[in-house]
Structure 1
Amino acid sequence: MKNKVLIILLIFSSFNLWAQDQDLDVQEVDVVEQFVPMIPPARKIVDIPKISDTVKVQKNVYYSTLSKQYQTAYQIDTIRPAKIKGEPIPRLYQTYLKLGLGNTALPSFEGYYNSLRNKQWSYGVEAGYHNSPAKVQGFDAGFQQTNIAAYGKGVLDFGIVNANISREGNVFSAHGMQDSLSEQKMHQYWGYSQFNVSLESKHNNRDRLRYFTAINLSDLNEMTENNYGFESLLKKRFGTYDYSVGFKADLYTNNTATDMAFAADTAREGIYTLSPRFYGDFYGLKVSAGFDEVINNRIMDTVGLNFHFYPQLRADYDIVPKIFKVYGGVRSGLQKNSYWSLSKENPFVLNALQYDGDAVVLKNTSSMDFYAGLNTYFNSDIRLSAELSFASRKDMAFFARNENPNYYLNKFSVLYDNVKHLSVQANANWNPSDRKGVHFSLMYNHYNLTELNYPSGMPSFEANLNGFYNLGDKIIGHLDVYTAFNRVAERTGQLDYAIKYIDLKNIIDFDLKVEYRYNKVLSAYLIGKRLIGGYEIWQNYPVIPRQIQLVISYQL
């Protein structure tokens, strides 16, 4: 009740309050005209606006772990290495023998003996003998071939040593389809002897220095021709690229035997080659580049010193990795032509002795080859490859039968010419397993000659087919088909000094070999060579047709 009375009294009470005790100033404004708004002119700092701001710098903070080993009482139990069962190491045999007999050959023999498994040493020897009394079109086409060789390899603390020594002999009849030649005039002999020893580094670490050094010695026909060679190669990686530098020295002498009458004077020649190389990978493009600087010093009646520069380049690129690859580049060099190399290609070449009436002129072949190719895999079984090449060759060697009436008309001279050589190669391989496979190859050659009219003996087109099939590891068959088309042979030495030509027949032939494995150590072979025949590889030397041979092999 008292509260209500107090509230009523407060409501009806009055109070006087003063906010300020002075009068406010009065400001009067006289309007004389209408107000017009105006914007004062602005001053530009820059023509193009830009943002001026600060950037907070990120600090590079490096965190590292501090290794500290804590000793524990826990002991780890070792696990014994696993042993693979059911995959025994195949047995090796020390001795391998082959004996054969055929319709155009006397009993032939081949023997091999080698060491068994050894991590430090390996060695072996081999020997062979083949003899044939065959006749072709009434002319003696017999031959006698022998070979013996020994080799050894040692893995030592300072490197790997390889050495081999060999001797090959080839005695045959160079009849040349001439009835008037005596047995002595038809007799032809080549004996090849060589010794090689090399030392190379044991490791394959590309970041470490790798080396290879070799010495090569060879002799032809007991001092008719000798070669002394030295080779050294160093390799190492610097950064992401590999580098190498090689040096070769090839010293050559001929006609040095004192008990033989040679048709030409003694000649000496030295070929020295410096070969730096660079290997790199640029975004998938694998490049190998370098050059060969060659010094050719030939000493006969006069001294001839020549310098040659040969660029070397190869680039590989995988368009589809492991499926489709293209490559190309430049390969060039100096090829030495000697009695050794020429007789290996054509055994009926003049043999440097006086009784042949003449000697072969020896010139080295200089070549510059531009090439491009591709490799492709359709699957794991089929592989195709092709290559296009255009080469410029100076002093390319060709064989021409020497028809000088003062000679025996059964040997070949060597002609040289400058050549532009275009070649196209294609290969196809089908290998679904190690029990069967087929290889097919094609080659087309076009020669643009400077002085000669035809590339003597060189075919324009070649096709080859090779195949094998293994039937249950018991019967294994091999087939080799080879063809060559458009071949022309040259003849030289006529009294009018003209070079004449003769068409050679096309080559279409095949070889067949069937092996029957009686067990792991005994096998029998039925071999047929040149089962069609009827052609000449070298003019006036028909091949021996339909050679059938039965061979038995045994290993122990």
Structure 2
Amino acid sequence: MKRINNTTYGIASNPLFPKYEVAPIKPAKMQNEPLSKLYRSLIKLGYGPIYNVPYGELWVNSVRSREEAYGAHYKHFSSMSHLKNTGYSGFVDNEAEIFGKKFYKKHTLSGEFNYKRNRVHYYGFDTTMNHITDKNYTKQYYQLFEPVVRLQSHYTDSNKINHDIRLAYYNLGDFYNSSENNIKLNTELSTYINKEHLHVKVLADYYNHKQQKDTINDFIFSLNPYFEANGKKWHADLGLNATVDAFNGNTKFYFYPQLNAHYDVYENIIVPYIGASGGLIKNSFRSLSNENPFINPNVHYANTHNKYNVFGGLRGNLSSTTSYDAKVSYGQYDSLHFFVVDYSDLTQLDNKYKVIYDNTSLLNVSGQVKYQYKEKIHFIAKGNYYLYSPKNLERAYHKPDFDITLSTIYNLKSKIIIKADVFVIGNQWALTKVGENSEFVFTESKLLNNLIDANLGAEYRYSKMLSFFLKFNNIANMRYERWEKYPTQRFNFMIGLSFIPF
């Protein structure tokens, strides 16, 4: 059954699994506690006055059923702000979803339909030099339609072949009449051969992207068989991924290793692990615009070939409340993508990004610590250090050299919930313009300093049906740039409520 998504501020959730106790009568019997009541809907409303930010979210869901589950979700989040010395920076995010599941004896059939429309503005220019008041001149939107169907089997007989088949399609369009269509079929089969668990993953992925100056056709097919084996203290996956990529009539074949293994040295306190992998990464209009919505709609496309990625680490549980994970990985990538400002058109505002590619190696050192005390305290600290080594580019543009996340949730008797987050993104480099003439633009690498984003939120649960929340964003009041020329909003806050109408 698909439940309502977890949210930062919501109604207290109760376990669906019944607890059992011995009834004080003879003969002794096991008696279920009454199941907690489930509600069919939830509404969240909020408003941020500093940057004129309305927010609303609605969930509608079926209640318990052994036969089916269904529901719908809608979200609106926008801002009508105008940051200092930049173009109009307002945005609108709308998304809607309907979903359903049908439960059979040995199968589950599910489907969903997703719709998104995200409007942004290319506001990354200096208004003291360019006086543009027409918002449509910098307007861009991304509109997505995405139906999905899925069939999963639930055989308990190890001699049968379990299967998970997912068919998805999407159409993505924008303000400049770019259009991308994608159809993807994912299939996973699994069964037992003797004591080993065999998995076979099959992917067929076709997409067509039409833009003003070019059309891209790409078909990717991959076959990934692997064995899963277990011992008393160890676990291992061993397989191979064979991939065919037919990109605009140019067909290439790739083979990638698949190895994951770990060994429990001592009671799940010390668990070393190693692995090797690789794969083809599809760079589509959808993936690139999700990462950076300020890209030029007419960008150059190429898929990233991750030749290999080897890793090793140590993880475990230090106690019943604390766990850790430390990892080192090294990978080699052909045609890894980077974002730089597009200065190719001297008549424009230099406020759009283009995509460039380079063969790059990447060393990544990461660590994570989690602490959880019952349902009262949750804490996580994680960080990454990145060392990019491009072959031809001077810098790994807009790839930070480290990031840190600290997150804490404190639950006071399920009545008051306090959440604090700190995000740190390290130094990164941009390719910026330093001069130009009638024919050429002169650029050099520019260091963008690290940024800190600290947020604090509180929720008061008045009842199971009603709660209130207050959230403070960017407490450090920093005007930082994740993307050069695009400063973010400074300190702001939102106040709101959540309630169950029925």
TM-score, reference length from structure 2: 0.88
Q: Which residue of 2 aligns with 1:271?
A: 220
Q: Distance in 1 between matches of 2:416 and 2:314?
A: 36
Between the aligned partners of 1:178 and 1:187, the Cα distance in structure 2 is: 16
SS in 2 for 1:84: strand
SS of aligned partner of 1:136: coil
Matches within 5 A, 1:44-443: 82-84=29-31, 87-103=33-49, 104-139=51-86, 140-157=88-105, 159-179=107-127, 180=130, 181=132, 182-221=134-173, 224-255=179-210, 262-281=211-230, 284-299=233-248, 303-351=249-297, 359-367=298-306, 368-404=308-344, 405-443=346-384
* Deviates most, 338-347 or 189-198: 189-198
Q: Deviations over 1:338-370 (max 9, x none)?
A: 11000000010112xxxxxxx111110111100
SS across alignment from 1:144: strand
Kept in 1, the 8 Å contact 2:181–2:209? The answer is yes
SS in 1 for 2:265: strand
1:327, distance to aligned residue in structure 2 (A):
0.8
Cα distance between partner residues in 1 of 2:295 and 2:76 = 23
Is the alpha carbon distance of 1:203 and 1:498 closer, same or farther for their aligned partners in structure 2, counting shifts above 3 Å?
Answer: farther
| Aligned equivalent of 2:20 | none
Q: Check whether the contact 2:343–2:441 (CA below 8 A) recurs between aligned residues.
A: no
Alignment correspondent of 2:497: 552
* Contact 2:85–2:126, Cα closer than 8 Å, also in 1: no
Shift of 1:195: 1.2
In the alignment, the residues of structure 1 paired with residue 366 and residue 455 of structure 2 have an alpha-carbon distance, to the nearest angstrom, of 23
The match for 1:56 is none
- The code of the aligned residue for 2:161 comes to L
**2: distance between equivalents of 1:98 and 1:418?**
46
* Cross-structure match for 1:10: none
Question: 345, 368, 392: which is aligned to 1:451?
Answer: 392
Q: Which residue of 2 aligns with 1:38?
A: none
Query: Following TM superposition, by how much is the alpha carbon of 1:202 offset from its aligned partner in structure 2, in angstroms?
Result: 2.1
**d(CA) in 2 for partners of 1:153 and 1:398?**
40
**How many Å apart are 1:414 and its aligned residue?**
0.4
Deviation for aligned residue 1:80? 7.3
Displacement of 1:83: 4.2
Q: CA deviation at 1:443?
A: 1.1
Quote the Cα distance in structure 2 between the aligned partners of 1:499 and 1:317. Answer: 51
Q: Which consecutive unaligned segments of at least 5 residues does structure 1 have?
A: 1-78, 256-261, 352-358
**Amino acid of the structure 1 residue aligned with 2:456:** L
Shift of 1:206: 3.6
Structure with the bigger percentage of strand: 2
1:188–1:208 Cα change, 3 Å: same
2:448 matched to which residue of 1? 504
Amino acid at match of 2:328: L
- Which structure ranks higher in relative contact order (CA pairs < 8 Å, sequence separation ≥ 6)? 2
Residues 444 and 462 in structure 1, CA contact (< 8 A), matched pair in contact too:
yes
Secondary structure at the residue paired with 1:135? coil
Conservation of the 8 A alpha-carbon contact between 1:185 and 1:408: no
Rg larger in 1 or in 2? 1
Which piece of structure 1 moves more, 220-229 or 193-202? 220-229
Partner of 1:480: 421
Note the alpha carbon deviations across 1:231-259, whole angstroms, 9 max, x for none.
2221100111111212110011011xxxx
* Cα distance change of structure 1 residues 499 and 363 upon mapping to structure 2, 3 Å threshold: farther
**Contact 2:233 / 2:265 at 8 angstroms: preserved in 1?**
no
Q: Does the 8 A contact of 1:141 with 1:544 survive in 2?
A: no
- Find the aligned partners of 1:236 and 1:105 in 2 and give their Cα distance: 55
Paired AA for residue 209 in structure 1: I
Letter of the 2:444 partner, please give it. K
Question: How far 1:220 sits from its partner (Å)?
Answer: 0.5
Which of 511, 514, 524 is the equivalent residue of 2:458? 514
Of the structure 1 ranges 97-106 and 366-375, higher mean CA displacement relative to structure 2 is found in 97-106
**Which residue in 1 is equivalent to 2:488?**
543
Query: What letter corresponds to residue 144 of structure 1 in structure 2?
Result: V
Deviation by residue 1:103-132 (Cα, 9 ceiling, x = unmatched): 223432110000000011000001111221
Equivalent position amino acid for 1:524 in 2: F
Q: Which whole-Å CA distance do the structure 2 matches of 1:490 and 1:161 have between them? A: 49
Amino acid at match of 2:423: Y
TM-score by length of 1: 0.80
The one-letter amino acid of 2:190's match is K
Q: Percent identity?
A: 26
Determine the C-alpha separation between the residues in 1 that align with 2:28 and 2:170: 51
Q: CA RMSD in A?
A: 1.9
Shift of 1:451: 0.8
Q: Deviations over 1:374-413 (max 9, x none)?
A: 1121110111110100000111011001123133311100
Residues 105 and 130 in structure 1, CA contact (< 8 A), matched pair in contact too = no
